[in-house]
Amino acid sequence: MNRATKTQASIQRAATSRRSLRAVLAAALVSCGGIAWPMSAAASQALAQKYACVACHQPATKVVGPSWKDIRARYGEGQGAAAQLAAGIRAGSSGKWGAMPMPPQMQVPEADARVLGQWLVDGAK
């Protein structure tokens, strides 16, 4: 076996090893999902406070905007609901919940908006 063939074989083994490692890590994350959930919920509530969502939204009472409970009831668990909510957080909206518009929240990074959207879909608990 010449040097180029040995190098190519080494590269292929490394790629196979990386794919295997990714599969193991993905399986570990899926199996630990139940363990991570309480921390995720607490983190999501902290995000709602960090970005001042709580100034207009409360868990069960309409303040300026709809309650988290009402948002969950409207959007439910439909496919894409979390992504739709995340987009609405960043882009804002008007007319969905009455006359008061939701101003765009562009200071909320997309990743945090997705976390908040999923948290709302999951019942904001």
Q: CB-based contacts of 2: which residues, under 8 Å, 6+ apart?
A: none
Question: Would the pTM count as exceeding 0.75?
Answer: no
The model's pLDDT over 23-73, given as tens digits with 9 standing for 90+, comes to 444 444 444 444 344 447 788 999 999 999 999 999 999 999 999 999 999
pLDDT for 79: 87
Task: Fill in the amino acid letter for 51.
Answer: Y
How many Cβ atoms from other residues are within 10 Å of residue 95's Cβ?
A: 8
